[in-house]
Amino acid sequence: MYEQIAANKRKTAGLVALFVILLFAVGFIFNYLLKGGVVGLVIVAIIVIASSFFSYFNSDKVALRIAHAQPADPTEYARYHNLVEGLCIASGLPKPRLYIVDDPAPNAFSTGRNPKHAAVAVTTGLLEKMNRVELEGVLAHELSHIRNYDVLIMTLAVTMVGIIALLSDYFLRIMFWTGGRAGRDDNNGNNPLGIVFAVVGFILLIFAPIIATLMQFAVSRRREYQADASGVLLTRYPPGLISALEKLKADHTATHFASKATAHLWIEEPLDKETNKGDTKWNHLFDTHPPIDDRIHALEQM
């Protein structure tokens, strides 16, 4: 388990670096095509550094706000608090902040930058539809995301993907309204290298949000399997989480306060649940989660 956590920390550092590099690349191309010069590069550096710090310290607050999560009252939601406290004692984790999302769809997510600054949110639908054992399995899954340091990269992705998408969209709008003349002059018009660089820049700006989103989804899919396995090891009762996943699969209610930016945080796909995509690899390329049947099968082998 400790080796897995250490490996996750290394992977998280690598993925954060990739996000920052992609953000720098978008900013550099933006600056080059708009002829910002040295001043533009300084502005790009400031934006990247500021956005990275903002993402690190505030992405959990952003995710909770997007989900319309409210603090869970210890008296009204005593079972919720008691289960989390018991699991935290068993795992050695500090108790995270607990939140409620007023939504009939059963779902849950965790967020934060580390175990000391983490939060778990569940929907009212989850509390109503899961029995104690099933709810414990779901909460163990979310606490495993926290213990495995999955929440950092998964939460950072919310703001970093958004920043990359906004920068790319902003630049493409500028190019549209200026008729593609932004950043061009007579010298560059006759410079083949400048033309090639501009074409590469356009391609990067168009595909950067897609690349960032695919990175986001890849991170989520891989770590869902790990959190399932770690959650079962924590409760030592695989049927609990298996039963919870079966209920989640059978329920076709979309989570109202979920969005594409935060979809990867939830325990299962919160959007477009009634869409029949088929079983081909390409149909699931942009899924935020692995198929529930595959997750159940993996747990049944434990």
pLDDT digits (tens, 9 = 90+) for 198-226: 565 566 666 666 766 666 666 666 788 88
CB hemisphere CA count around 121 (13 angstroms): 28
Whether residues 206 and 264 fall in one domain? no
Task: Tell me how far apart the alpha carbons of residues 245 and 247 are, in angstroms, rounded to a whole number.
Answer: 5
Closest CA to 225 of 241, 246, 248: 241
Whether residues 141 and 192 fall in one domain? no
Task: Tell me how far apart the alpha carbons of residues 207 and 205 are, in angstroms, rounded to a whole number.
Answer: 6
Whether residues 145 and 8 fall in one domain? no
CA angle 153, 249, 62 (to 5 degrees): 30
Whether residues 142 and 234 fall in one domain? yes
List the CATH number of the domain containing 281. 3.30.2010.10
CA angle 209, 211, 213 (to 5 degrees): 65
- Highest average pLDDT, of 48-52, 91-95, 157-161, 172-176, comes from 91-95
Which one-letter DSSP state was computed for residue 104? Answer: S
Whether residues 145 and 199 fall in one domain? no
Query: What does the pLDDT average to over 90-118?
Result: 93
The strand pairing partners of 121, in sequence order, are: 99, 109
Q: How far is CA 252 from CA 26, 54, 102, 243, in A?
A: 38, 35, 17, 16
pLDDT digits (tens, 9 = 90+) for 3-58: 655 666 676 677 677 777 877 777 777 677 667 677 777 877 787 778 777 777 77
Q: Which residues are catalytic?
A: 142
Whether residues 57 and 159 fall in one domain? yes
Q: Give the residue ranges of DSSP H helices in the chain.
A: 2-33, 37-66, 78-91, 124-129, 132-147, 150-177, 186-189, 192-235, 238-250, 292-300
Task: Tell me how far apart the alpha carbons of residues 159 and 181 are, in angstroms, rounded to a whole number.
Answer: 30
What's the whole-number average pLDDT of the chain?
A: 78
The lowest-confidence range among 51-60, 95-104, 278-287 is: 278-287
Sign of CA dihedral 270, 273, 275, 279: positive
Picking from 172, 187, 210, the residue at the C-terminal end of a domain is 210
Whether residues 206 and 248 fall in one domain? no
Domain limits for position 83: 66-151+218-300
Whether residues 71 and 52 fall in one domain? no
Whether residues 292 and 195 fall in one domain? no
Three-state DSSP class for residue 109: strand
Whether residues 146 and 230 fall in one domain? yes
In the block, which residue shows the tokens 């029995």?
131
Whether residues 118 and 242 fall in one domain? yes
Picking from 183, 210, 237, the residue at the C-terminal end of a domain is 210
Domain count, the chain: 2
Picking from 142, 175, 210, the residue at the C-terminal end of a domain is 210
Whether residues 162 and 145 fall in one domain? no
Starting at the earlier edge strand, list the strands of the sheet with 70-71: 70-71, 97-101, 117-123, 108-114
Q: pTM for this one?
A: 0.75
Task: Tell me how far apart the alpha carbons of residues 99 and 76 are, in angstroms, rounded to a whole number.
Answer: 12
